[in-house]
């Protein structure tokens, strides 16, 4: 019940295209949904995040869409660039019964020039 399921495992997008990564969760006690970006050999870094009372959040080319009733959220990367090639993790924070962040399995994005 504490899982966060992420798809696809890998994604290849042409430069200028839209990259879409999807995540789903079961536990309705999750109250914060961040996305992290990780480049090879580096630690993850927070990219963008959303709270469940908001349906969409946009920061530059990155947008989170959140569907509370479906328990799904997604990351859209508009005008994808080769520099966006990285692994992306969705996550969900739980602040009841402890303070934990549960991560999805990750999506390896490759943007072709």
Q: Is 42 in the site for another protein (CB under 8 A)?
A: yes
Q: Which is nearer to another protein, 42 or 112 (CB)?
A: 42
Residues of this chain, 52-91, that bind another protein according to CB under 8 A = 89
- Output the CA–CA distances (angstroms, integers) from residue 109 to 3, 22, 26, 66, 91, in the order listed: 22, 13, 25, 21, 17
Stretch that binds another protein, among 11-19, 39-47, 68-76, 77-85 (CB under 8 A): 39-47
Contact at 8 Å (CB) between 21 and 4?
A: no
Place of tokens 């995540």: 23
Q: Which helix (H) or strand (E) holds 63?
A: strand 62-67
Confirm or reject binding of residue 110 to another protein (CB under 8 A): no
- Establish if 6 lies at the interface with another protein (CB under 8 A): yes
C-beta separation of 110 from 10 below 8 A: yes
Interface residue list for another protein (CB under 8 A): 2, 6, 9, 31-32, 34, 36, 41-46, 49, 51, 89, 93, 95, 98-106
């Amino acid at each position: 019940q504490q899982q966060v399921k992420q798809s696809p495992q890998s994604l290849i997008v042409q430069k200028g295209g839209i990259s879409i990564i999807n995540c789903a969760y079961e536990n309705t006690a999750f109250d914060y949904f961040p996305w992290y970006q990780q480049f090879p050999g580096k630690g993850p870094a927070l990219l963008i995040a959303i709270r469940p009372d908001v349906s969409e959040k946009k920061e530059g080319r990155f947008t989170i869409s959140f569907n509370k009733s479906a328990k799904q959220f997604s990351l859209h990367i508009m005008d994808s660039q080769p520099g966006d090639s990285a692994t992306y993790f969705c996550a969900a924070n739980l602040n009841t019964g402890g303070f934990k962040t549960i991560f999805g399995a990750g999506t390896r994005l490759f943007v072709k020039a």
